[in-house]
Structure 1
Amino acid sequence: MFLRQLSYLIALDKYRHFSRAAEHCGVSQPALSAGIRQLESELGITIINRNRRFNGLTEEGQRVLAWARQTVSDLSNLRQEAAFAQDVAGGSIAIGIMPPTMQVIPLLIESLRAAIPALHVSITVCSSAEILHQLREHQIQLGLMYLDQIPPEGLFDTHVLYQEQHVLAAGEGITLPHTRHCSWETIGQLPLGLLNPQMRSRQFIDAAFREAGVKPHIMLETNALELLHTEVLASRLATILPVAALPERSGILQTRLLENLPTPDVGVVRLQQTIMPTLSMRAWEILQKLDFHHSYSI
């Protein structure tokens, strides 16, 4: 039994005419008649009173019609539910992020799941160049990175979330000047733990030290934010990090503002596509409403 046979029966009861019912269903009259006969054969009953014209349904046909209407209605509801589940309730999305933005991810996921409750999220930490590569290769759907790293050929859509601000951060056991800002000369005398030189965030810092003519006292270099956080919270080292990359317990840290550092835009990126998957479109709509400028500045 095929669902289209049930649709033929419903249309025939509605139009009371074989030709008009067939036209409504987008088939020929012989095809509609054959479908109804096949339904009768499968059920072993007579559904239609026939002569040369449609003379209504038999008593058994009326009962089959009731079941047909319920079945077709249930199928329609199922399709709507499936579309709803795909668009709103669930699905899977992959996001590539650069290391200094790891603290931003919980806010992004919270915002996405507020509208897509069963969303499965896969997070990959990598460089901005790798994020762009993975977007081009359709390995990820979204990236979180410096937007001035986006190539000019117009292949990507972007949305700014915040401007990156670096600060000096240290535990209570390290003495810092009692001022709002800290000079690069003073910072150069502190035991420092910094991100690896390959990271663009670190390159801003190295350029500032060079411009100030200061050679910093660097005791630890790493790409692991968790390690930097541990050392700083224990007052073994001071660090320079974007506000978005400070540990969650940053309230117990001393922070000082820095001068002569760029404040690049950080935001979400997606690859432009002619046909965009429904879930990706929904996620992008949500992310475009986000603004973290006040969340990641001091």
Structure 2
Amino acid sequence: MFLRQLTYLIALDQFRHFSRAAESCGVSQPALSAGIRQLENELGVAIIHRNRRFHGLTDEGRRVLVWAKQTLAALDGLRQEAAFARDVCGGSLSIGVMSPALQTVPLLLEIFRDAIPGLHLEVLSGTAADIAHRLREQHLHLGVMYLDQIPADGPFDTLPLYTEQYVLAGSASARMPAGPSCGWADAADLPLCLFSRTMRSRQIVDAGFLEAGVRPSIILETDSISVLHSELRAGRLCSILPVAALPETVGDAGLRTIPIMPCVAPQVGIVKLRQPVMSPVLSRIWDVCGRLQAGDVFAAV
């Protein structure tokens, strides 16, 4: 059995098409098809449903796919271990971050690079469901997301980063309540731009208004954090956001923030797929994550 055959199988599952999978592997379609057939012959099972086109993996094929991903991940770990043994710092790490936690990225990247100089990092933004799916498929190494959205019996390991805190944010010229904090009734009277209703952060905000028995004046809803930041800087609307979703330089951007109370918010943490073998890079970064204390960084002050 050759490792290239396992690579063919993973590519075929990813692209769901023989020609595109072959192109991604840098081989011809007949070569990829022959490699898959050879793998089936060696294992003595049918791995894919085939006619003239790819029709998905068999039950046995899905089990082989899991094993193939673990095997190639272990091989990558072995290569990285050899590199570390030669004192060559580096490696690659892919991280998925939900929009309300995007301001954790600069902090995490700085800490990760301190731990592993020369580390190549890829950061992708997505919903919690998308990040969890990518972790399962081993397209991401780490995710930053709400920990209460991770099933307790799921195949994930988690580390808490901070408990989310919400603030009312607006420009220096915006009409905002006076005082050290703001209630939901006061916020409901303001023209607001909020995350879309499908997003968990918005659902937390909606729960606050519902508990207070008030109906907010919502002018704009979006799943884009950059749109919210743009509206805040323009001074047209206010917003209610977790601290980690505020523009990076609140004061420099001419924005004011007021903690909104009471607010019951979940923990945000770092998540990874539970695996029998971790690469040296991921093992080192996970150890670093276990010592992080980000609560003070993303507190409402």
Do 1:93 and 1:122's aligned partners in 2 also have CA atoms closer than 8 Å? yes
Partner of 1:126: 126
**Per-residue Cα deviation, 1:243-283 (whole angstroms, up to 9, x for no partner):** 11111221232222212322211110111111111111111
Find out whether 1:275 has 2:277 as its counterpart.
yes
RMSD, aligned α-carbons: 2.0
Tell me the SS of whatever aligns to 1:89: coil
**What are the ranges of 5 or more consecutive residues in structure 2 without an aligned counterpart?**
1-78
Tell me the SS of whatever aligns to 1:285: helix
Do 1:87 and 1:278's aligned partners in 2 also have CA atoms closer than 8 Å? no
Q: How does 1:99-118 map to 2 (within 5 A)?
A: 99-118=99-118
Distance 1:88 1:134, change over 3 A: farther
In the alignment, the residues of structure 1 paired with residue 208 and residue 80 of structure 2 have an alpha-carbon distance, to the nearest angstrom, of: 57
Pairing partner for 2:268 from 266, 269, 276: 266
Partner of 1:284: 286
Do 2:80 and 2:280's aligned partners in 1 also have CA atoms closer than 8 Å? no
Q: How does 1:21-32 map to 2 (within 5 A)?
A: none
Partner of 2:57: none
Partner of 2:146: 146
**Per-residue Cα deviation, 1:95-114 (whole angstroms, up to 9, x for no partner):** 11110111111111111111
Distance 1:87 1:297, change over 3 A: farther
Distance 1:179 1:105, change over 3 A: same
Do 1:88 and 1:116's aligned partners in 2 also have CA atoms closer than 8 Å? no
The sequence identity of aligned pairs, in percent, is 48
Between 154-163 and 201-210, the greater mean CA deviation after superposition: 154-163
- AA aligned opposite 1:275: V
Moved over 2 A (4+): 79-83, 85-88
Q: How does 1:93-242 map to 2 (within 5 A)?
A: 93-242=93-242
Partner of 1:24: none
- AA aligned opposite 1:111: I
Tell me the SS of whatever aligns to 2:96: strand
Do 2:80 and 2:281's aligned partners in 1 also have CA atoms closer than 8 Å? no
Q: Aligned-pair distance for 1:199?
A: 0.5
In the alignment, the residues of structure 2 paired with residue 170 and residue 86 of structure 1 have an alpha-carbon distance, to the nearest angstrom, of: 52
TM-score (normalizing by structure 1): 0.70
Distance 1:278 1:256, change over 3 A: same
Do 2:204 and 2:265's aligned partners in 1 also have CA atoms closer than 8 Å? no
Distance 1:137 1:238, change over 3 A: same
- AA aligned opposite 1:256: I
Tell me the SS of whatever aligns to 2:193: strand
Do 1:89 and 1:115's aligned partners in 2 also have CA atoms closer than 8 Å? no
Q: Aligned-pair distance for 1:142?
A: 0.5
